Amino acid sequence: MESNDRYRGIVALRALRAYRDEPLDDADLTAIIEAARWTGSSKNAQNWAFVVVDEEEQRRRLADCGTYTSPVRDAPVTIALVEEPGGYEFDTGRVAQNIMLAADSVGVASCPVTLHREDEAAVVLGLPDGARCRFAVALGYPAHEAAPGIRGGRKPLSELTHSNRYGE
Ligand SMILES: Cc1cc2nc3c(=O)[nH]c(=O)nc-3n(C[C@H](O)[C@H](O)[C@H](O)COP(=O)(O)O)c2cc1C
């Protein structure tokens, strides 16, 4: 296969945690949320909601709901991914990846974040009964360029792929 920009962008996508102290451009944010909206979901149920958190106090409160949440504290915007009743974590993962890829395509850095204390996150976000939020994506213009290949390598394909049966 001949490599192309889209493929290279997918493979080079990294979680970035250092952002410029600058609000996100409305057009960039809208493009990112639009990409989230178009994510495919099981039975096209779209059992999700996106809470855009950009107030400083609210970002701090959300960051307090997880253990490794410095990106939420530092980024100008975090999108909290809400799973509504009947939603699947798999779908939420797809939304997160769409958000990250769309963000990257408009020059915005991103980092997925776990809200380990999701009961607290539900209170901070004012979620209705039955809705939960365990994951969020922090967004901001990158403070510096990512160095693909240097941070966080990956297991070799030979360790990950099997043929027809696990272990073969
Ligand atoms: C489900 C999930 C949860 C994550 N939670 C956090 C988190 O709470 N804090 C954080 O800094 N990074 C978090 N990350 C980012 C991972 O640490 C990162 O993707 C991994 O180290 C690989 O880094 P790279 O993509 O930059 O190579 C999370 C990633 C995923 C997929």
Q: What is the DSSP string of 14-29?
A: -----B-S-PPPHHHH
Does a structural domain hold residue 38? yes
Q: What's the average model confidence in pLDDT over 22-32? A: 98
Q: Is the model's pLDDT at 120 over the cut of 60? A: yes
Whether ligand 1 lies within 6 angstroms of the CB of 105 is answered as: no
**How close is the Cα of 150 to the center of ligand 1, in Å?**
15
User: Which of 19, 73, 91, 114 should be mutated for ligand 1, with most atoms under 8 A from CB?
Assistant: 114
Give the pLDDT band (50/70/90) at residue 147. low
Q: Whose CA is nearest to atom 5 of ligand 1?
A: 113
Does a structural domain hold residue 89? yes
Question: At 54, which CATH number?
Answer: 3.40.109.10
User: Which is it for strands 132-140 and 109-114: parallel, antiparallel or unpaired?
Assistant: antiparallel
Q: What's the average model confidence in pLDDT over 92-104? A: 98
Mean pLDDT is lowest, of 27-36, 117-126, 145-154, for: 145-154
d(CA 132, CA 80): 10
Which pTM was predicted? Answer: 0.95
Average pLDDT value for the chain: 95
H or E element: which one contains 92? Answer: helix 89-105
Does a structural domain hold residue 100? yes
In the chain, the percentage of residues whose pLDDT exceeds 90 is 92
Q: Is the model's pLDDT at 55 over the cut of 70? A: yes
Does a structural domain hold residue 113? yes
Structurally, the chain folds into a number of domains equal to 1
Does a structural domain hold residue 4? no
Nearest one of 106, 94, 108, 105 to 138, comparing CA atoms: 108
d(CA 15, CA 148): 11
Does a structural domain hold residue 9? no
Domain, as residue range, for 130? 15-142
Written as one string, the DSSP assignment of 109-120 is EEEEEE-S-HHH
Q: What's the average model confidence in pLDDT over 107-122? A: 98
Does a structural domain hold residue 115? yes
Does a structural domain hold residue 109? yes
Structure tokens at 8: 């290279």
Neighbour count for residue 33 (Cβ, 10 Å): 15
Handedness of CA 57, 98, 116, 141 (dihedral sign): negative
